[in-house]
Structure 1
Amino acid sequence: MSYKDILLHLDSYPDPTPMDVVDEAMRICAALGEGVTAAAFPVRIPLKSNFLPDRLIGLARLAEAEESPSAENVAQLLARFRAEAARHGLRHRELTSELDEFDRPARLAQLARTHDLCVIPYVGEVASQTAFAEAVVFGAGRPVLIFRSGAGHIRPGGFRKVLVAWDGGRAASRAVADAMPVLVQAEEVRILTVLGDKPSAVGRGADALMAHLALHGVSAEAEDYTAAGRGAGKILEQVSDERGFDLMVMGAYGHSRLREFLLGGATQYILTAPPVPVLMSH
């Protein structure tokens, strides 16, 4: 059981995804599935026609100076992607189109709707990549896997130690279902419930989940962890680091208010700084 159709985001602007991170992402894709599609968007800088500013500071030339490197970055990234896909024996294809800078996250979410999973590397200035991750997890109806480059958590055999964040809620349930191809291959699955963080998180609340996973051939263990005033995100980070988990699985929570998206505390914490690769669903 594996993901048949993975979407991989490669960033071209303002800083391109480094080549060693492309290699790392392709190792993750090879561990997870059989086919991968690269999405890389050359940036178009929108300009409003205004004669005086263009004459004084050369706006058109400045825009072209930004756009040209982005297009070159896409060409180089896709060349590396093709080479790594061939090396790993992955079925592969490419999706690329020139887009305005701020239209890229929505386009990635649109593409992710017809893929099993979207992989987004985090490098350098994380804020821009967080925007892509939020757009996919809340707008695509598909899971996203985010990882910070250089973490070194991917092993030759794939993700073997998996931490599942469980609070009994809908999003957590969706994440577990989306992560099933990973869970059935894992050697260790640990279900962690943080008590005192949400009303739905109750003691021994993972018993039914363990029984469900057992029917899929997944032998999981569960434990409860009392928040004691600390946020669930910090606790998940601590446990994943201390016990050497390869992957975290969790639900993403958020709601809209005045057209702004407000994220749950643990969701915001992990989306901003994933301690290990994180598979997240909404």
Structure 2
Amino acid sequence: MTVTTIACHIEPGDGAALDASFTAPFALAEAWGAHVTALVFATDGEASLAAEQKAAAQLRDTAERRGLACEVLDRSSFAFGVGEVFADHLRVSDLGVISAGMAGAMGTRNLLNAAAFDSGRPLLVVPPDAPLSGLPTRVVIAWDATPAAVRAVHGALPFLRRAEETIIVSVTEDKELRAGQSGIALARLLARHDVAARFSAVPLGRGGVVAALDAAAGEAGAEMIVMGAVRHAPLRDIVFGSATRDLLDRGPRRATLVAG
């Protein structure tokens, strides 16, 4: 698998926040020679038409200067809700990219949920204060042998093949995780895909699964985490907790590729 088409969301705005929203998709498009489909719209509240037009113009100018193929779609292109529209475009792309920090706002949360669970494609969630400026050199995979984790790993293969090192992490003492094929077996599979991978088990700790993964990524110097996304019924979330919910609530500390 290679990445030929990237769908990204651009939040209208000014300055660093706007720049951060297309830093990662443009850098990845350059690395793979990929086409970019950029959807420009506000996720929470109404952005003025002038703000959207300004963001779209800056996007086109930047793409042209960098020699990138970029299709820009503004609000006039949307007949349905923004989450549904983004997921629909993502279905005919290879990768989705969203810049999102603390995802407390309902519009941002709806966009992330639609992209992760309704598109069938991997989604890269990038924190605005730490956007990817190129392909990551080190990647951490959150492995629990679930179908979502499998989809995330295969969606991440274009990244993994280009990384210097991939660390497969299983969080121990986590009741959400079930026994399954080990990370060591996954490392053998990835080796057949020309991926340099090793396995590590890490304790759950008090901060939860996402905090344990962040700590492992920080120790390894990894710029990206790969994890499956699971949508539970609300009651199960309350009783058991959810790593996916933690990610959506707190926002990622580093680029995180998810697949549902």
Q: Do Structure 1 and Structure 2 share a fold, with TM-score over 0.5?
A: yes
User: Does the CA contact (< 8 Å) of 2:131 and 2:255 recur in 1?
Assistant: no
- Give, in whole Å, the separation in 2 of the partners of 1:40 and 1:17: 16
1:115-156 CA deviation, whole Å, 9 max, x = no partner?
11111012587523232111110111111111111215535x
Cα 1:257–1:268 shift into 2, 3 Å = closer
Q: Quick one: which of 72, 78, 82 aligns to 1:94?
A: 72
- Give, in whole Å, the separation in 2 of the partners of 1:256 and 1:235: 24
How far does residue 241 in structure 1 lie from its aligned partner after superposition? 2.6
- Give, in whole Å, the separation in 2 of the partners of 1:164 and 1:273: 18
- Give, in whole Å, the separation in 2 of the partners of 1:170 and 1:229: 26
Q: Could you list the runs of 5+ residues in structure 1 that have no partner in the other structure?
A: 44-65
Q: Does 1:277 align with 2:251?
A: no
How far does residue 19 in structure 1 lie from its aligned partner after superposition? 3.1
After TM superposition, the structure 1 = structure 2 runs for residues 94-173 of structure 1, keeping only pairs within 5 Å, are 94-98=72-76, 103-122=81-100, 127=105, 128-151=107-130, 153-155=132-134, 158-173=135-150
Secondary structure class of the residue paired with 2:87? helix
Greater shift after overlay, 244-253 or 125-134?
A: 125-134
Q: Does 1:72 align with 2:72?
A: no
How far does residue 12 in structure 1 lie from its aligned partner after superposition? 3.3
Partner of 1:12: 12
User: Does the CA contact (< 8 Å) of 2:6 and 2:29 recur in 1?
Assistant: yes
Greater shift after overlay, 130-139 or 89-98?
A: 89-98
Larger Rg: 1
Partner of 1:60: none
Partner of 1:35: 35
Cα 1:110–1:102 shift into 2, 3 Å = closer
Amino acid at match of 1:113: R
Cα 1:152–1:132 shift into 2, 3 Å = closer
Higher relative contact order (CA 8 A, sep 6+): 2
- Give, in whole Å, the separation in 2 of the partners of 1:215 and 1:116: 22
Partner of 2:185: 208
Secondary structure class of the residue paired with 2:150? helix
User: Does the CA contact (< 8 Å) of 2:83 and 2:115 recur in 1?
Assistant: yes
Q: Could you list the runs of 5+ residues in structure 2 that have no partner in the other structure?
A: none
Q: Does 1:250 align with 2:227?
A: yes
Amino acid at match of 1:144: L
Greater shift after overlay, 18-27 or 112-121?
A: 18-27
Identity among equivalent positions (%) equals 31
Amino acid at match of 2:30: A
Aligned positions, number: 254
Amino acid at match of 1:35: H
How far does residue 263 in structure 1 lie from its aligned partner after superposition? 10
Amino acid at match of 1:185: R
- Give, in whole Å, the separation in 2 of the partners of 1:37 and 1:263: 38
- Give, in whole Å, the separation in 2 of the partners of 1:83 and 1:99: 20
TM-score by length of 2: 0.84
User: Does the CA contact (< 8 Å) of 1:248 and 1:279 recur in 2?
Assistant: yes
1:17-45 CA deviation, whole Å, 9 max, x = no partner?
833224523234434551111112379xx
Secondary structure class of the residue paired with 1:154? coil
TM-score by length of 1: 0.78
